[in-house]
Chain A
């Protein structure tokens, strides 16, 4: 399959805690991207990591990529209630998305 598969399907944490979600894929890629979706409408691009990169940071986001394991992780540090959303990964091979991880951050 060309698509990314996220896990867990759902994650519930308290404000201030860190949230980690994972993405696995099966084909070779040029890059992997993470997106956020609020309220079931348009997705917003968060971060892109290229196949020759192992880790990338953007604000409270940290993404890692392990091409040997064909997996990526997204870490959100010091989570806020506003981070409540669904998070999706997609690979450059076809820009297919998985079912996403539904993150709930409780105040």
Chain B
């Protein structure tokens, strides 16, 4: 696609529910990143994919968080049993190669856990 696409743009859920966030990277980009940004804060790294594998998932905050990438393209970030502290903007970015190249960001998913 022309850019990194994230869906949904906004998600409101109840505490305890599971949510899935989707990221569609730029076609041909092999590297994909997920970040989380709480209001007024910096970007918190969650996970990095190279192709379908995740050589760095050290940023996932708990075992309620998981992510996968299929076909070297679309990635989904799943949060199980959501908590209020999970409320944040979740940003996805992709780049054409590995960790050395510039990132293209999506517009993010605003997650609100009530």
Contact = CB atoms under 8 A, between A and B. Distances in A.
A98 B47 CA distance: 16
Contacts of B43: 43, 88, 97
A45 B102 contact: yes
B48 interface: yes
Interface string B86-100: 000101010000011
A99 B103 contact: no
Nearest to A50: B100
Nearest to A46: B102
Interface in A22-54: 30-31, 33, 35, 40-45, 48
B32 to A, nearest CB: 11
Most chain B CB within 10 A, of A3, A30, A42, A97, is at A42
B56 interface: yes
Contact of A41 (B39, B45, B107): B107
A64 interface: no
A61 to B, nearest CB: 14
A97 B102 contact: no
A42 B91 contact: yes
Contacts of B37: 40
Nearest to A98: B42
B42 A88 contact: yes
A94 B42 contact: no
Given A40-B89, A97-B35, 18 more contacts: A33-B102, A35-B103, A41-B89, A42-B91, A43-B91, A45-B104, A48-B102, A93-B99, A94-B45, A94-B48, A94-B99, A95-B33, A95-B45, A95-B103, A96-B45, A97-B45, A99-B41, A100-B42
23 contacts: A3-B45, A31-B100, A33-B102, A40-B37, A41-B91, A41-B107, A41-B108, A42-B105, A43-B43, A45-B103, A45-B104, A48-B102, A88-B43, A92-B99, A93-B99, A94-B45, A94-B56, A94-B99, A95-B93, A97-B35, A97-B42, A98-B42, A99-B41
